[in-house]
A and B are shown apart, each in its own frame.
Chain A
Amino acid sequence: GQNIDQPTEMTATEGAIVQINCTYQTSGFNGLFWYQQHAGEAPTFLSYNVLDGLEEKGRFSSFLSRSKGYSYLLLKELQMKDSASYLCAAMDSNYQLIWGAGTKLIIKP
């Protein structure tokens, strides 16, 4: 079966760094997406990885290891506005997104 695992909730301090992990099992693989979703709003795109390695985009970076079925989202210099749910989604061989349940990130001052 297809499955995405990510922690349910994480807490971090403003200004710090947090890493949100995601493991996936899919029928075929066409890339790994990370989305941010604030409460009551639709998801917004953060990153897309299809090759192994680290992609850096400002304060956010995303890493992928295809052999391990593993990705992480790294958030640096945390700000209060980063409090949100972070959704990991893997694209399978049919180009369908398989969604994780999301990680609720709580930022404390």
Chain B
Amino acid sequence: GAVVSQHPSWVICKSGTSVKIECRSLDFQATTMFWYRQFPKQSLMLMATSNEGSKATYEQGVEKDKFLINHASLTLSTLTVTSAHPEDSSFYICSARDRSDYEQYFGPGTRLTVT
């Protein structure tokens, strides 16, 4: 089956610093990758959609200058949370889809805590 990895699994950072989260498709080419955020006991919230080689499309209310997304290759997308604040603490999950499949394959998620 299709496997998506995320790194790191969890990270603690200080307020004002930046954190980069990587999302990799291990055994397929991910033409589209999605970044979600999930707060405790809430559902997934789509942050942005990125297609390989083009700029990400951000959902309404998501600051593109704060959440930088790069999808430079068919197997890697990165999300950088810039100038992190405690309210950015959340569970960040990526998913990936290839050209021939409608299903989104999820990574294991990254738990970010900003102190």
Chain A positions near chain B (C-beta within 8 angstroms): 30-31, 33, 35, 40-45, 48, 87, 91, 95-97, 99-102
Contacts and interface: CB of A to CB of B under 8 A. Distances in A.
A99 B93 CA distance: 14
B: interface residue count bin: 10 to 19
Interface in B86-114: 91, 93, 102-109, 111
Contacts of A31: 102
B44 interface: yes
B106 A99 contact: no
Instruction: Say whether chain A's binding surface is mostly helix, strand, loop, or mixed.
Output: loop
Contacts of B34: 97
A44 B107 CA distance: 9
Given A87-B43, A87-B44, A99-B43, A42 B102 contact: no
Contact of B44 (A41, A43, A91): A43
19 contacts: A30-B102, A33-B103, A35-B106, A40-B91, A40-B111, A41-B109, A42-B93, A42-B107, A42-B108, A42-B109, A43-B44, A44-B106, A95-B102, A97-B34, A97-B46, A97-B104, A99-B44, A100-B43, A101-B43
